[in-house]
Structure 1
């Protein structure tokens, strides 16, 4: 249904409900007729809401289907409760307070509605930890309701319940019915600030319906506690309006409200989410402190309920602490993962040029001998051209694994780019040419991959620093190793050249002669 069409239907429904309320309250009908019109109107809208939620659920999937099914069950419970109530109060004429099963149906309405809100809030995005997030929201609602209950009990409800308990129906129907709606409203309020999926038009009408039902429920409880055997029709206005609002919620167009991108709204929402469960408890605590200081004595029931609220707050804080610890662990893991990605090659898993340069600078700042190997994989282009880049990547991974296996764990193996690798040996235990030859031997064996076996060679250039030299930089050492590697390639590939050796000098001379010939 479009928003414009819904506006027309909502206007018509509101006008109809307003006319019925005026008719019932005006006194134009006698008492039995006004009660009959009142209750049958509620029943009609309840059944219409149930059917509408059911039909809407059948056309949808996933979360949109599940929360509407819960609301259809809630409306079915309301319709059953109204049928039982009508049978007892209208048909049989049973005087209040009633002992029928109708209150059970009425109390199931907010319970099932609460399930719908939780499904809608947590079934979609998955940005919060599922069951724990639901539990925290319910805890917030219970803390608020418990705090308000202690406040109203001390000031009003105790005398009301005491008066009504002597007449038979018991405590459950005194407070549970409107209190359950209050829990649903608080959970809905908290969820609307923490979950964007709740901020939509159908949920607004559910909240308004719960507010209307809860208001009349408290008035009903108060009047019956005073010994009333007939409730004035004016006190029933919330009951009359509630099913109509539920019906409008069933046909209202869905979709989340437009999200405000300003930081002020975000900070306000976070602040409200933190303060919602504690503000009512603070007000209640101050009220009790002032009351006890002026001579008010608390009975055991009030003390137990207050302790229960405190335990709920402690449970919520423990869950919050657990979530904070998990968030810190996730943050640390995320930072480590980002650091690893920033300093390691994504293909081979070895260090990248940035980490290699960082470790080389640190090694040159010390006094131990340092060896740098610059390695170029010979024949790698043929693998790429003949077998594809995926096979070339597999060969590079084999090369990196072999380089790591032939050096010490404290040495650094890095992919410097393309098919070029570097090895940093800090405090080498043997001659530089022996280290280079060990690397060359490790890479000389055929490279087996999932698609076959490839024979590739490597040219290794080695530069080293025997003693501390403050004038020697990382660029100097890398440049020397790079030059030695190119010398090895000019001399025929598949060999090791140490910077400053005869082979390196010969390679330089050969290169100059070939350049002169050209």
Structure 2
């Protein structure tokens, strides 16, 4: 529905309701006719709202569907309560208060509406996402209502309840109906600031309907506590207007619209979310402190209600602390994951060139001997060409895994690019050629994958620093290892060349005169 069309319908509904309200409270009709017109107007609007919410819910999906179906259930409860009330007050003439079924139907409405608000806020984006945010919102509402209850009980409600308790109806029916709407309004207020999905026109009309119900509910409670057996029709205006507002909420166009000043609004929402449950509690606490200092005595109900509010605040803080710890853990995990992705090869999981270079610079800053192996996988191109890139990737994973197993845990294995790997050994306990021999032995076995076995070898170039030399850089060692690797490729597959000597296969060594620094073609 467009906003213009809704405006026309809303204007018509408001005019009709205004005319009916004026007719009911003007005294033109007799008492019985006024009550009948009042209640049947409420029942008609409630039925229209129930059907409208049900139809709108069936036409949608997800959270937009669920919250409207919850509202349809709330309106069905209101219809049941009104039917029971009309039967007792209009047809049977039962004295106030009315039947238990009517009271139960009325009190279930805000509870179901609260479920709809929670579903709506959980289904959209919010400042405080997560399953616990719904519970925190409910706790905020209970803390506010509990604080206000203690405040009003000390100042006003105690005399009302004592007067009404003599009628036999009991405490629950006195304050449960308007207080439950008060909880709903507080939850709506907090949710509208912390969840953008709640900031829409239908929710505004729901809030206005709850405000009207709560206002007339408190007036009703006060009058009955004074012994009234007939409520003036003017006190029933909120009850009469509320179903019409619920109906307008069912047909109002949804959508949060464009946010203006989003970041500032978000900060205001976060501040309100933090302060809402504590401000009324502070005011109530100051009121009680001043009252007790001037001689006011607290009865057990006031003490227990105050302790309940404190326990709710503690529960809310515990949930907030749990959420903060969880968010910190997620942030830590996210940082570790990003760091791992920045310094590790995504295909093989070993270090990448950046981490290898960082660790090499750190090793060169110390006094320990340092060995760098530059490894080129021979025969890898044939695997890629004949079996596809997926098979080639699997072979690279096997190579990386074998390289990790043939060195110590503190040594660094890195994929430097393509089919080239590097190994950094800091403080090696054996001669450099022994490390190269272990690498050749590790890669000699066939590389078995799901598609078969592949024979690949490696050409290994090694450079090393025996004693601390501040003039030797990471580029120097990498360049020497790279040149030694190319010398190994010239000698054939499965060969290790140490900068300054050559080891063919796993056997005989060739003297320094064949080293890469002595070969002019390698420089």
TM-score tier, shorter chain, comes to over 0.9
Task: Give deviations 1:409-458, integer Å, cap 9, x for gaps.
Answer: 11110011111110011111111111111101211221111222211121
* 3-state secondary structure, aligned to 1:231: coil
Correspondence for 1:320: 320
Correspondence for 2:190: 190
Quickly say closer, same or farther: Cα 1:513–1:22, change in 2 above 3 A: closer
Pair 1:109-2:109 in alignment: yes
Quickly say closer, same or farther: Cα 1:100–1:330, change in 2 above 3 A: closer
CA distance in 2 between counterparts of 1:234 and 1:267 reads 42
* Superposed CA RMSD: 1.9
Correspondence for 2:54: 54
Correspondence for 1:119: 119
* 3-state secondary structure, aligned to 2:290: helix
* 3-state secondary structure, aligned to 2:78: helix
* 3-state secondary structure, aligned to 2:381: helix
Deviation larger for 159-168 or 243-252: 159-168
Task: Give deviations 1:251-296, integer Å, cap 9, x for gaps.
Answer: 1122233234532111100000011111110110011111111111
On the 8 A contact 2:71/2:112 being kept in 1, the answer is: yes
Correspondence for 1:362: 362
CA distance in 2 between counterparts of 1:511 and 1:370 reads 24
On the 8 A contact 1:88/1:100 being kept in 2, the answer is: no
CA distance in 2 between counterparts of 1:153 and 1:235 reads 22
Pair 1:382-2:382 in alignment: yes
* 3-state secondary structure, aligned to 1:101: helix
CA distance in 1 between counterparts of 2:192 and 2:428 reads 64
CA distance in 2 between counterparts of 1:130 and 1:359 reads 40
CA distance in 2 between counterparts of 1:205 and 1:324 reads 34
Measure how far apart 1:509 and its partner are.
Answer: 8.7
On the 8 A contact 1:85/1:100 being kept in 2, the answer is: no
CA distance in 2 between counterparts of 1:495 and 1:380 reads 16
* 3-state secondary structure, aligned to 1:351: coil
* 3-state secondary structure, aligned to 2:219: helix
Correspondence for 2:514: 506
Query: TM-score when scaled to structure 1?
Result: 0.96
Correspondence for 1:459: 459
Listed as ranges, the matches of 1:259-338 within 5 Å are 259-260=259-260, 262-338=262-338
CA distance in 1 between counterparts of 2:517 and 2:285 reads 92
Quickly say closer, same or farther: Cα 1:91–1:255, change in 2 above 3 A: same
On the 8 A contact 2:499/2:515 being kept in 1, the answer is: no
Deviation larger for 506-515 or 410-419: 506-515
Correspondence for 1:240: 240
CA distance in 1 between counterparts of 2:71 and 2:521 reads 89
Quickly say closer, same or farther: Cα 1:338–1:100, change in 2 above 3 A: closer
Listed as ranges, the matches of 1:470-509 within 5 Å are 470-501=470-501, 506=514, 508=516
CA distance in 2 between counterparts of 1:245 and 1:449 reads 69
Measure how far apart 1:55 and its partner are.
Answer: 1.3
Measure how far apart 1:126 and its partner are.
Answer: 9.1
CA distance in 2 between counterparts of 1:359 and 1:261 reads 46
CA distance in 2 between counterparts of 1:388 and 1:278 reads 65
Measure how far apart 1:510 and its partner are.
Answer: 9.7
Task: Give deviations 1:293-334, integer Å, cap 9, x for gaps.
Answer: 111111111011000100111111111111111111111111
CA distance in 2 between counterparts of 1:205 and 1:215 reads 15
Correspondence for 2:438: 438
Deviation larger for 94-103 or 132-141: 94-103
Quickly say closer, same or farther: Cα 1:291–1:257, change in 2 above 3 A: farther
Give the gaps of 5 or more residues in structure 2.
503-509
CA distance in 1 between counterparts of 2:230 and 2:72 reads 31
Quickly say closer, same or farther: Cα 1:509–1:45, change in 2 above 3 A: closer
Listed as ranges, the matches of 1:155-166 within 5 Å are 155-166=155-166
CA distance in 2 between counterparts of 1:115 and 1:291 reads 37
Task: Give deviations 1:157-182, integer Å, cap 9, x for gaps.
Answer: 11111111112222112100000001
Measure how far apart 1:100 and its partner are.
Answer: 4.5
Listed as ranges, the matches of 1:381-420 within 5 Å are 381-420=381-420
CA distance in 1 between counterparts of 2:260 and 2:412 reads 49
Deviation larger for 294-303 or 23-32: 23-32
On the 8 A contact 2:395/2:447 being kept in 1, the answer is: yes
* 3-state secondary structure, aligned to 1:490: helix
Give the gaps of 5 or more residues in structure 1.
none
CA distance in 2 between counterparts of 1:316 and 1:498 reads 66
Correspondence for 1:372: 372
* 3-state secondary structure, aligned to 2:296: coil
